[in-house]
Each structure stands twice: as structure tokens, then as C-alpha cells.
Amino acid sequence: MRFYPMIINGQPVTADARFGVINPASGEVFAEVAQGSAAHVDQAVAAAQAAFPAWSAMPDGERQRLLHELGNALEAHMPELMELVTRESGKPLNGLNGVGAGMEVGGAIAWTHVTADLDLPVEVIQDNDEARVEVHRKPLGVVGSITPWNWPLLIAVWHVIPALRAGNTVLIKPSEYTPLATLRFVELANGLLPPGVLNVVTGGAEVGAAMATHPGIAKIVFTGSTETGRRIMQSAAGNLKRLTLELGGNDAGIVLPDVDVKAVAPQLLAATLHNNGQTCACLKRLYVHDSIYEPLCAELARLAEAAVVGDGLQPETQLGPLQNREQLAVVEALADDARNRGARVLCGGRRLPGGGYFYAPTVIADAEDGMRVVDEEQFGPLVPVIRYGDVDDAIARANASDNGLGGSLWSADPVRAGELARRLECGTVWVNEHGAVQPDAPFGGVKQSGIGVEFGRHGLAEYTSLQTVKVMKRR
């Protein structure tokens, strides 16, 4: 069984203890990783602090060149990284609608190159005979990244590459469920970057807590649950850390009565079962007009029943297992609660046999606001379909949530849908698609779905501080 060490200051670092990484398709441990501690966080922060002056002072074009080289290295190792992602997360190599490990690694490559080409030019506020006033963007120092298990490599890249591009150094802690692709990414990066620029400490809550309170970390970027985000905010108050938090989502989609049911159903199912439902910004509440409710429910169920569920290493697999046993139990409880409260389970609604964490894709008709499966983020292959008669009412119900990550409108009239979409209270809204993000467009949540944005120039700016420079020309 292979052992994976941490990487601090460009060197492999072991620990007294180890923990196992489970393949969710089998429920069995297939790798071991060093169990980091608060002392390792101290060591990694010291290495990042020592590397910061030279890295931040490096010519901008040289940092760009190194990040492009890192993108090329990811591409050269794409098959290896895809297999690691599949084995630790359960995500199929290919996946339903192309959402699989190939998409994750390909996205990581694309995000690296696009972000490497972003810049934040000096802004000139005033330039006259009296004075010149400029606004500069400066790196913060050491950035701490804490990533989740659902998109382990892609979200690591989302955190790390803009931090490095802006001139910061980084300590990353991947989820203890899925550390392997991130460890390999950091190893590849350390073959190109100066020692200490990118460090990784593996472990559980102790490591994350040590990072959130560490006085040497200037910013935390975190993707995960709202509950954990609140704890990080509280812990970060000691030295007023900057924060970017992408937290839970319970995205609503509203289907207008003018759609072609047969044409829209595959798109809706792909949006709801994106990564087996284990994506913050996948469609989790589907509001469908009375006039097309029953035929659309029936078509969704037919398509869901036909989806191929299995080990992600098999090329024909479309949906893999849930990533961990705890999440499987959550999904099962939500489906059982809906059934017990009168909802119709049109397909699925059960665990699948075998040693892995498999749950059948499930379409739930007659779901209602107030049911757990509607009010809570499922993070699994559950599709609650809620009936509505008036679009104003549907928008009000969609907005009646503490979350505000994404939302969508589906219609044959994209102009009208676009007008309605802007009434949704969420950070990103889509028309006739859901969950598609891109490296040049900002993405983030409102309400309790987060603070700050990622991607593009707006996301890059979050890894910097402003400095205004005023030079008087007259005395």
C-alpha cells in the first residue's frame, strides 16, 4: 500500500501517525497519508514566510511562465491524476454528461493557464500638474487553503493558482477523505517552484483549526459547509485574516411552461446529478409548472433509471458512489423522510448492493417546501421536483432560503427568462443551464453561501491588498 508524505519547504515530510484513504467504490483503504499536526502547520507557515519576499519580488512575467509550466505538467500527468481523482473521490473517469475525472483534471489545466494570464494593472486616479495618484495591488503574504472532498484537484487549483499569481505563498490542507491528487499536484509544483512557495499539510480538523488561528497566515480561502465557514470566521478574527468562503448551496431551478419537455429533461437531470449531486452549485430544488409537471417528472425518472451506476474506473460508468459513508447516510435519511411525508419516489430511493457507498439516482415527485429534501442541501443523487402555478410565487419560494449560491430559469424565451432570472437572490444565475462556471467570470455566493468571489480579475483581486500612492508634483 503506497504511503504519501506531506511536502514542506520543497521536501517530503512524514509524521508519527498515518491515516487511510478509502476508495468509496469498494469501502476499502487503498493508500496511507501522513497525519499532520499543528506543529507541521507552524513548520509550513515558516517555510512560506521565508519564501515570500523572493516570490513576491519575482518579475511578473517569470511568475506567469512558471504557472504555465505547472499547467503543462498537469497536462503531461493527466491520466495519472484522473485515476487518483477517481479512486479517492469515486468520480467516474468519464461520467454522466462528461462530468467526471477527465473534466476535473482538464478544468484544472485550463484554470491554471487562464489564471496565469490574468493581471491587475496599476490604476491611475489622477495625473495632472498637481499630483499623480495610483492604486497598486500588493500580495498579502501567506495564504491558507482548505479544500473539500467533492472536487479535490480542481478546487485546489482554484485556490492555489490565483494566490501564487498575485505573489503570495501558500499552505494547503486537502480534505482527509481526498488528499492524494492534491499531494501529487503539490509535488509536481515543487519540481518547478522555489522551495516554500507551495506547501501541503494533511490531516483532519486539528490542522484546519491551526491554520485558521495562525498569526502567520494572512488569508484563508475555504470551500465547504456553512457551519465550518462560520467557525473559520470566528477563528480568523485573531489577526483579522482576509477571507474568501464558498459555502453551502441549495440552488433552485424554475422551469417555465413553454419548454419542450423531452428536450429539457436531459439537461435538467445532468444539472441535478452533476458529480452525483455532490457539487455546491448543482441544481438541488426543481420548481416545475403545473401544466408540464407530470410529463417532466416521468421523463426525469425514465432517464435517471437508465443511468449507469458503478465503479468510476469502468469507462461505461456515468454515476459513481457517494464519496463517504457519512454522506451516504445523509442522502438515505433525506429520501426516507420525503417518502414518509407523502412524496412519491418515482425511481431509486435505495442503497445499491456491494461494498461501496452507492445510492440509486432518485426522482422525488410531490416534494414540498418544508420537507428536509427541499430545505436542506442534499449533496447526493436526489432530485426533488416541486409543483408551482404562478411564476412570482415560484421565485419567492426559491428565494426563501438562507443559501444564495446559484439559481436558474429554463424557458423557450431566453429574453423573458433572463429578466426573471435577475430576481433570484443568488451570486450566479443561469438561463437554460445550471452550474457551468468558467475561469474568467466571477463566482461566489450571497447570504449564507459565502463571502467574496473566485475566478477572473475579481477573484484574483481578493488575494491582494490595495495601496494608494500619491506623488505631489508641486511643493
Query: What is d(CA 390, CA 251) in angstroms, rounded to the nearest whole number?
Result: 19
Task: Judge whether 402 and 445 are in contact, CB under 8 Å.
Answer: no
Closest CA to 199 of 223, 234, 174, 235: 174
Residue type, 293: Y
Half-sphere exposure for 249 (CA within 13 Å, toward CB): 33
H or E segment and range at residue 235: helix 226-236
Q: Which residues are catalytic?
A: 246, 280
| Residue 380 DSSP symbol | S
Task: Judge whether 377 and 355 are in contact, CB under 8 Å.
Answer: no
C-alpha cell at 284: 438541488
Task: Judge whether 310 and 357 are in contact, CB under 8 Å.
Answer: no
Q: How many CB atoms lie within 10 A of CB 389?
A: 11
What DSSP string runs through 427-456? SEEEES--S---TTS-B---GGGEES-BSH
Task: Judge whether 451 and 467 are in contact, CB under 8 Å.
Answer: no
Residues 6 or more apart whose CB falls under 8 angstroms from that of 220 comprise 143, 144, 145, 146, 211, 212, 232, 236, 241, 242, 243, 244
